[in-house]
Amino acid sequence: MVKVHYIHHSAFAVEFEEKILIFDYFDPARMPEYPFTGHLPDLGGKKVYFFASHKHRDHFDIDILHVMEKEPYVRYILSKDTKMSGNFLKKHGFVPDQVKACVKYVTPISDYEVDDLKIHTLRSTDEGVAFVVETEGRTIYHAGDLHWWQMQGVGELVNGRSEKEYKHQLRYLEGKLVNYAFVVMDPRLGPDQFLGFDYFMKKVLADHVFPMHMWQQLGLIRQYKSRSDNKSFTDRVVDITEENQIFTF
C-alpha cells in the first residue's frame, strides 16, 4: 500500500511502509499572503527523504533541516541552487558538518543513488530540477517548476524556448510507466493554464497524475476534466479537493 499526501501547493509526500518521500515542502508561514494550511504528515519513525526542486520560497524551506534533529533517519536531496554556506547554516542554528552528512545536492540531467532510491534529474524551464525517483518498483515524477510556461506579454522568443525545452525534457519520460506524477497546472497563465499539463497527459503514461502549483485554485482540476472527453486522461487525473488530503493506492 502506498499513501500520497497532498500537503499544499507543490508539496506532496509519498508514503511507503518503511519510508516517506516529501517533495517541495515549505511551512505556510513562509508565504503569509496565501492561507496555506498544509502540514507535514506523521513521520512515524520511518526513513524520511526530503526533496527540493529549487530555492523559490514556495518550493524550499530551510527549516526542513530541523527534522533531522527529531527523526532517527533523514536524508535531503536538494537542487544545487539551494546550497548554503557553513556560515549561513551556523547563523540559522545548524551544525554544518551534520547538514553535510545528510544532504545530497543535485544538478540537472544527472543520476544519483541515495539508499535504495534511484534518482534522475531533469532540467527545469524555470529554476533547478525536476525529479524522477524509482523505489520499491514504483516510479515517481515531481516536476518542480518544469513546465511549458506560455506567458502573455513576454514575446514569442521566450515562450518558444520554454515550449522547446519542456518538450525536450519530457522525452526522458516517454515510454516509461510513471506511477505517481505531480505536474504543474498554473492559473496565472490564463488561457494557457492547461497547455503544459495537457501535453504531459498526451506524452507520458502515468497511472495517477496530481495537478499542483495551482495557488489554491483546486477548482482548476474540475475545469480541466470537464473540458476533456478523453476518459484515458480524466480517469488518471486525481481529484484534489483540499489541503492535507490523503490518497491510498
In this predicted model, what pLDDT tens digit does every residue of 109-145 receive, in sequence order? 999 999 999 999 999 999 999 999 999 999 999 999 9
Measure the N-to-C terminal CA separation of the chain; round to a whole number of Å: 6
| Whether residue 216 has pLDDT greater than 80 | yes
Q: Is the pTM for the entire model greater than 0.85?
A: yes
At 155 the pLDDT is 72
Range 6-29 average pLDDT: 97
55-79 pLDDT, tens digit each: 999 999 999 999 999 999 999 999 9
Q: Please report which confidence band the pLDDT of residue 27 belongs to, taking 50, 70 and 90 as the band edges.
A: very high
Average pLDDT, the chain: 95
C-beta separation of 185 from 213 below 8 A = yes
Q: How far is CA 84 from the centre of its chain?
A: 21
79-106 pLDDT, tens digit each: 999 999 999 999 999 999 999 999 999 9
Burial class (CB in 10 A: 0-12, 13-18, 19+), 218: middle
Range 218-228 average pLDDT: 93
At 16 the pLDDT is 97
Count CB atoms within 10 A of the CB of residue 18.
Answer: 11
C-beta separation of 13 from 247 below 8 A = no
202-214 pLDDT, tens digit each: 999 999 999 999 9
Q: All 3 cell numbers of residue 120?
A: 534522475
Q: Please report which confidence band the pLDDT of residue 229 belongs to, taking 50, 70 and 90 as the band edges.
A: confident
* Structural domains in the chain, sorted by start: 3-248 (3.60.15.10)
Lowest mean pLDDT among 152-166, 178-192, 229-243: 152-166
| Whether residue 157 has pLDDT greater than 90 | no
At 239 the pLDDT is 97
At 94 the pLDDT is 92
C-beta separation of 7 from 25 below 8 A = yes
| Whether residue 227 has pLDDT greater than 90 | no
At 156 the pLDDT is 79
At 90 the pLDDT is 94
Q: Please report which confidence band the pLDDT of residue 241 belongs to, taking 50, 70 and 90 as the band edges.
A: very high
Written in H, E and C, the secondary structure of the chain is: CCEEEEEECCEEEEECCCEEEEECCCCHHHCCCCCCCCCCCCCCCCEEEEEECCCCCCCCCHHHHHHHHCCCCEEEEEEHHHCCCHHHHHHCCCCHHHHHHHEEEECCCCEEEECCEEEEEEECCCCCEEEEEEECCEEEEECCCCCCCCCCCCCHHHHHHHHHHHHHHHHHHCCCEEEEEEEECCHHHHHHCCHHHHHHHHHCEEEEEEEECCCCCCHHHHHHHHCCCCHHHHCCECCCCCCCEEEEC
Q: Please tell me the distance from the alpha carbon of residue 30 to that of residue 236, in angstroms, as a whole number.
A: 32
Written in H, E and C, the secondary structure of 100-134 is: HHHEEEECCCCEEEECCEEEEEEECCCCCEEEEEE
Q: All 3 cell numbers of residue 236?
A: 488518471
Q: Please tell me the distance from the alpha carbon of residue 111 to that of residue 109, in angstroms, as a whole number.
A: 7
Q: All 3 cell numbers of residue 32?
A: 503569509
